[in-house]
Amino acid sequence: MGAEIQLMKGNEAIAEAAIRAGADAYFGYPITPQSEIIEYLAHEDPYNKRTGMVVLQAESEIAAINMVYGAAACGKKAMTSSSSPGISLKQEGISYMVGAELPGLIVNVARGGPGLGTIQPGQADYFQTVKGGGHGDYNMIVLAPSTVQEQYDHVGLGFDLAFKYRNPVMILSDGAIGQMMEKVQLSPQKPREQKIYDWATTGKTPDRERNYITSLFLEAEIQERKNIQLQEKFKRMKESEVRYEEIMTKDADYILVAYGISARISESVIDIARKNGIKLGLLRPITLWPFPSQRIFELAERIKGILCVEMSAGQMIEDVQLAVQGKIEVKHYGRMGGSIASPSEVYNNFISLFLK
Amino acid sequence: MTDLELYKKELLAQGAEKIFTKTKNLTDTPFSYCGGCGHGVAHRLIMEAIEELDITHQTIGVAPVGCSVIAYDFMNIDVQQAAHGRAPAVATGIKRTMPDKYVFTYQGDGDLAAIGTGETIHACNRGENIAIFFINNGIYGMTGGQMAPTTLPGMVSSTSPYGRNMDTHGYPLSLTELVAKLPGTYYVTRQSVHTPANVRKCKKAIITAFENQKLNKGVSFVEIVSNCNSGWKMTPVEANKWMEENMFRSYPLGDIKLPQ
């Protein structure tokens, strides 16, 4: 049997990947540009027709993330999705999930902001996603797909990482990747695991102590101990979960650093630069947290400058600047509010920022 | 033999037929609630009901934010602590993915009727097959006696120091009557735990709320009107009297919706 390949929208790929990854539940609330996720799931009706996966439209983004909390605390593979303003609403629940050490997958198909903003794609959610938009000291792994295939693959990967560390994982996509159609190689259907975890609330049996899931530790000493334990977990994630892709960095004099749709545009920028005899490369972070700081630091030893391409006023650039520790010049180019830069526009700006 | 066991033996020798035994579903942690507060009794009744129905291994509770945020310190069963107001959404996530389990939320009036109004109404309206236990004492106890949605007209709290004024504070909100109108609720009742007779009635309602989950007919909603003598600045006896004379007038006890 040949590979199962299908032409799919980025949002549909997330939905199909969730079913095939053996997810137990999806809870969501409609918001453009990601409503196809819940629409696809509603149409597929996996609860009755495929795997028994629960699909429920909640009354709000807040309710949806708390439904994920409830299911996750039973050891279920649960997920939700939204777009920027809706993710702002979910931040409370995400902070609680980290505090209670619950696995779960959150997808953000980002649009332009602030406020209600625009329904066009945006990358201005880097801060709220990577720096922890909720309260308290916390981190979570953030995956940034740049193709529909990768968006599909990140669903299964996201669930695996969430359960590996008992911590929520976010896929930070954007309206462009969510809406574009590309070829996707589908993975075989995984069964729903129905696994009983020793930490999960599944009903207390006489052979074990009760399980309680909480993020409340009233005494300062106990809360601090909990925080130290969480920080150790984040350290382990930092040590082993950094993912990135490099394109033509070997001989590069300059590199672009970009993720998501901006990385796709940046690939074309490199083509233009190379045709003009400029040795330009690309480093594409696949995990925005943990960030490939070490690799960027190494590259900064031998390149002349970095241009960060982001559809924001410059958010990821702060992490790039931290990584290079002032060794070379780091500059930003980006459009905001749903506007997407063309490759030639980025190229021209690169030339005027670095080579004029 | 411990002192307690010796005492039990002595009582039995004197001809006692039945001695009160604490349910195994309560931990040995002493209740940290104020003396006279209804939470302790309400906790005990729910835990006893679960033991008597023999569903401990199938039950998952959801604790709110408020005085009973630490309910899981006392409840010797699997419990999740939810964000303020979100317990019905959390319970939905549990019940939808674990449909064979008995799921309940335990929420105060601030949690259920203020910040969690949306989650409460929608869980009820979807007919989630869960039990909601709603402790209504007309005040925010945990944070020090502020006005709640259920605070009575003229009632003094730290954020209505001159009494609740409907012109500026709005009216007391009874979600219990409201959710009874929704087709997704199957059983709605209002109880209290301030006298032995009321305790017995309340326990029956709690047992019914759990048993209903076998029928898959929607939400069982049990309001327990309770006191907050600390927040009301009264002695426990005064608080119970005040509750009878004032709270029960606005929140009359009895069944509001019975299975058709």
Please tell me which of the candidates B70, B79, B90 has its beta carbon nearest to residue A69: B90
Domain assignment of residue B184, yes or no? yes
B142 to chain A, any CB pair closer than 8 A? The answer is no
Count the domains in chain B. Answer: 1
Residue extent(s) of CATH 3.40.50.970 domains in chain A: 5-203+230-239
Q: So what's the architecture of A245-354 in CATH?
A: 3-Layer(aba) Sandwich (3.40)
Residue extent(s) of CATH 3.40.50.920 domains in chain A: 245-354
Domain assignment of residue B19, yes or no? no
Domain assignment of residue B156, yes or no? yes
Domain assignment of residue B132, yes or no? yes
Domain assignment of residue B1, yes or no? no
Chain B, residues 50-79, CB within 8 A of chain A, namely: 56-60, 62-63, 69-70, 72, 75-79
Domain assignment of residue B143, yes or no? yes
Q: Is A4 helix (H, G, I), strand (E, B) or coil?
A: coil
pLDDT beyond 90 at A89: yes
Residues of A in Cβ contact (< 8 Å) with B100: none
Tokens of A265: 């545009």
Please tell me which of the candidates A27, A56, A66 has its beta carbon nearest to residue B86: A66
Cross-chain Cβ contact A27/B82 below 8 Å = no
Q: Is B205 helix (H, G, I), strand (E, B) or coil?
A: helix
Tell me the average pLDDT across B129-133.
98
Domain that holds residue B66: 32-257
Cross-chain Cβ contact B56/A203 below 8 Å = yes
What is this model's ipTM? 0.96
Query: How many Cα atoms within 13 Å fall on the side-chain side of residue B131?
Result: 28
CATH number at residue B162: 3.40.50.970
Tokens of A53: 């996966």
* Helix H or strand E encompassing A306: strand A305-309
Cross-chain Cβ contact A201/B82 below 8 Å = no
Tell me the average pLDDT across B206-233.
97
Return the sign of the alpha-carbon dihedral for residues A168, A174, A180, A182: negative
Mean pLDDT of chain B: 95
pLDDT beyond 70 at B14: yes
pLDDT tens digit sequence for B221-251 = 999 999 999 999 999 999 999 999 999 999 9
A5-203+230-239 maps to which CATH number? 3.40.50.970
B80 to chain A, any CB pair closer than 8 A? The answer is yes
| Closest residue in chain B to residue A91, using alpha carbons only | B83
A94 to chain B, any CB pair closer than 8 A? The answer is no
* Helical ranges in A302-342 per DSSP H: 317-324
Domain assignment of residue B149, yes or no? yes
pLDDT tens digit sequence for A210-256 = 999 999 999 999 999 999 999 999 999 999 999 999 999 999 999 99
